[in-house]
Amino acid sequence: MILSLEENPFPLILNKGSPASIMQILKVIDRIENPVGFKNLLHLVSMQNDDGGFPNNLEIITSSSVKITYRVIRTLTYIGVNKHSHIIMSGINWLMNQQEKDGGWHENPTLTIPKWVTWESTTKSVTWYTCQIAMLLKELGLHETTEFRKAISFLEKTELPNGGWSPVADRKNLDPNSSVGIGNFLAEIYGKNYPPFLRSKRIFEEKMSELAEKVSHKAIDDAYELTHLIFDKMPNYMYNLEDERVRKVLEMLVHTQRKDGGWKTFYSGEKSDVAITVYVLQVLVSHGIISKEILQEMFDNAVR
C-alpha cells in the first residue's frame, strides 16, 4: 500500500539543502534535467578544491574532507556525470592519496571533528568511510586497483571476533549501522555464503527485530534510528521488500515527518535535517512506500 506525505518537503530541501543533497533527490524523482538541477550542478562543481577534493561541509576556502569528497563524487556519478571526467578522476586521485598504510581512510587531520562525533576520526581508519570509498571504486570500475584490494583487506582484518565492525579501527564497540552496510558490500563481492556476511546478517536480524518491536510499542521520531539498518536502494542481501519488520519501521518513518516537511535526528536537535530528509525520501521511494509521482508533483508545486 502506497502512503502519502502530509507535508511538501521541497521548500525545506531547496531553501536549506546543499547542492549535493538537492541533486540526489532530483535524480530520485527524475527532475535532474531542470533549471534547479543545472544550477545546483554548476554550484557543486565550482566548489571543488585545487587538490581535487571537496571542502569540509561544502564551505568554500576550507580544507578538503575525505567524507565530503567521497559523498560528492558518489552523487556526481549517481546523477550521470562521466566517470572519466576531470572532476571525477581528480576527486578519486585525491581520495586514493589519502589512503592509510592499513588500507583504510580517516578524515583529513587538518580538520576538526566535534567531540560528540565518536564514530569518526582524523587519526585512525574509519570502517564506514573505507567501505563507502571501496564501493565507489567498484562502481567506477576500479576494483582491480591496489587501493581497492587494500581496502577490502582492511575490512576483512578489522571484523570483530564475534562478527560486525566497530566505527573506528582498534575499537571494540560494535556499530550495527556500519556492520550491516559493510557486510552487505562484502556479500556483493564474495557472495551470500561469505562468513563475515553471515555474521553481519545475524546482527541485522537481531537489531531489526528489536527496532520493529520498539516501534510497535512507542513512537520514534529520530529518522536516524528508523533508517540506520535500512538501505536507500533495493535489492540488497540483508532483507527483501516482503520483510514486515522493515515495512513497519518505514510506516512509522512516514508518520514522523515534521510540519516543515523534513525529518529530524539526534544530531539535529529539534530542527529538521536536510541530508537525513533526502535519505528518508530515497528510502521511502525505493521501498515503494511513497510514489515517485507524488514527489514529482510536490517538487513542481514548490518551484512554480
Q: Would residue 128 count as lying in a domain? A: yes
pLDDT tens-digit map of 260-278: 999 999 999 899 999 999 9
Q: Rounded mean pLDDT of 167-179?
A: 96
Is 90 exceeded by the pLDDT of residue 5?
yes
Q: Would residue 268 count as lying in a domain? A: yes
Cα gap 87→81, rounded to integer Å: 9
DSSP assignment of 106-174 equals ---TTS---TT-TT--SSS-BHHHHHHHHHHHHHTT-TTSHHHHHHHHHHHHT--TTSS--SBTT----
DSSP assignment of 159-189 equals --TTSS--SBTT-----HHHHHHHHHHHHHH
DSSP reduced 3-state for 100: coil
Q: Would residue 256 count as lying in a domain? A: yes
Q: Would residue 1 count as lying in a domain? A: no
E-state strands within the chain: 54-55, 64-65
Other C-beta atoms closer than 10 Å to the C-beta of 38 total: 11
How many percent of the chain have pLDDT more than 70?
A: 100
pLDDT tens-digit map of 78-130: 999 999 999 999 999 999 999 999 999 999 999 999 999 999 999 999 999 99
Q: Would residue 86 count as lying in a domain? A: yes
> CATH code at 229?
1.50.10.20
Is 90 exceeded by the pLDDT of residue 1?
no
Which pLDDT score is estimated for 43? 97
Cα gap 117→114, rounded to integer Å: 6
- State the residue range of the domain holding 148: 10-303
Cα gap 150→89, rounded to integer Å: 19
Other C-beta atoms closer than 10 Å to the C-beta of 75 total: 20
Q: Which value, to the nearest 10 degrees, does the dihedral of the CA atoms of residues 64, 68, 73, 76 take?
A: -120
Contact 94, 51 (CB under 8 A): yes
Q: Identify the band that residue 151 occupies on the pLDDT scale cut at 50, 70 and 90.
A: very high
- Contacts of residue 49, defined as CB under 8 A and 6 or more positions apart, other chains included, come to 55, 63, 64
Which pLDDT score is estimated for 275? 97
How many percent of the chain have pLDDT more than 90?
A: 98
Which pLDDT score is estimated for 89? 98
pLDDT tens-digit map of 199-222: 999 999 999 999 999 999 999 999
Q: What is the chain's mean pLDDT, rounded?
A: 97
pLDDT tens-digit map of 18-76: 999 999 999 999 999 999 999 999 999 999 999 999 999 999 899 999 999 999 999 99
Q: Rounded mean pLDDT of 251-260?
A: 98
Q: Would residue 38 count as lying in a domain? A: yes
- Contacts of residue 167, defined as CB under 8 A and 6 or more positions apart, other chains included, come to 118, 119, 120, 126, 127, 128, 173, 175, 178
Q: Would residue 2 count as lying in a domain? A: no
Q: Would residue 189 count as lying in a domain? A: yes
Cα gap 247→283, rounded to integer Å: 11
Is 90 exceeded by the pLDDT of residue 139?
yes
Cell numbers that stand for 298 in this block: 510536490
| Number of continuous H segments (helices) and E segments (strands) in the chain | 13, 2
Specify the number of domains making up the chain: 1
